[in-house]
């Protein structure tokens, strides 16, 4: 004699379990961000030199092309300066020149023939010392705030600061540590 009474409830429970697992996977996928398309920020290898007299030279050593309209340059004191690591300044890109084209970092106020749209491997950018850090943080005598951590202060020769390229969404594109030279 064959008894099939228990088969139907077991199959029903297994089907319900499969449905619950599929629903949980779909919910987890949406909650985890799989449904959103994420924009990948470019990544580059950069290096830089800084001279208190000659200013900044920023080198694009390789990686993605950087759209200069959507990229900013920031500097921040390193631990060499003590407890000022939380500070950060945007470099004035109105005065940044990209070589070898001898054109300005992209600027909406300039005609396109005077500014470059992409910073690419092999290029380098230059900026005068006063463009790298705001004047109020230099060692000039008319400062309204302390010049203690100013990159132009002669007592900081050999100190290092951090330089970052950041996209318009605030994500870091590239970062390097720069030693202050005379």
| Residue range 79-116, pLDDT digits in tens | 888 877 678 888 988 889 999 989 999 887 777 788 89
Listed in order, strand segments (DSSP E) in the chain are 44-51, 55-63, 66-67, 71-77, 89-90, 97-99, 103-105, 115-116, 118-119, 124-127, 160-167, 172-181
Over residues 127-175, the pLDDT tens digits come to 998 888 765 444 444 433 445 567 888 888 999 999 999 998 899 999 9
> Does residue 71 sit in the same domain as residue 155?
yes
> Does residue 57 sit in the same domain as residue 7?
no
Cα torsion through 43, 151, 101, 123, rounded to 10:
-30
133 burial level (CB within 10 Å; 0-12, 13-18, 19+): buried
User: Residue 35's beta-bridge partner residues?
Assistant: none
> Does residue 81 sit in the same domain as residue 132?
yes
| Residue pair 16/33 in contact by the 8 Å Cβ criterion | no
> Does residue 4 sit in the same domain as residue 26?
yes
> Does residue 87 sit in the same domain as residue 165?
yes
> Does residue 27 sit in the same domain as residue 101?
no
Instruction: Kindly report the CATH number assigned to the domain that includes residue 54.
Output: 2.60.40
> Does residue 58 sit in the same domain as residue 81?
yes
How many structural domains are present in the chain?
2
| Residue pair 97/125 in contact by the 8 Å Cβ criterion | yes
pTM score: 0.72
> Does residue 32 sit in the same domain as residue 54?
no
> Does residue 76 sit in the same domain as residue 107?
yes
Pairing relation of β-strands 172-181 and 44-51? Answer: parallel
> Does residue 17 sit in the same domain as residue 87?
no
> Does residue 20 sit in the same domain as residue 60?
no
> Does residue 75 sit in the same domain as residue 117?
yes
Q: Supply the range of the domain harboring residue 176.
A: 44-181
């Amino acid at each position: 004699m064959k008894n099939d009474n228990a088969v139907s409830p077991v199959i029903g429970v297994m089907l319900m379990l499969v449905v619950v697992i599929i629903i949980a996977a779909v919910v987890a996928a949406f909650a985890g961000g799989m449904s959103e398309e994420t924009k990948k920020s470019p990544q580059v290898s950069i290096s830089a030199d800084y001279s208190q007299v000659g200013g900044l030279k920023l080198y694009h050593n390789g990686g993605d092309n950087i759209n200069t309209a959507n990229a900013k340059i920031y500097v921040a004191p390193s631990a060499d300066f003590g407890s000022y690591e939380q500070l950060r300044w945007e470099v004035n890109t109105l005065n940044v020149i990209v070589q070898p084209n001898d054109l300005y970092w992209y600027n909406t106020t300039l005609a396109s023939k005077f500014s470059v749209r992409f910073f690419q491997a092999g290029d380098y950018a230059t900026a005068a010392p006063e463009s790298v850090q705001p004047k109020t943080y230099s060692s000039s005598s008319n400062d309204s705030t302390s010049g203690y951590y100013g990159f132009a202060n002669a007592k900081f020769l050999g100190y290092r600061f951090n330089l970052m390229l950041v996209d318009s969404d605030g994500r870091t594109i590239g970062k390097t540590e720069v030693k202050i030279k005379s």
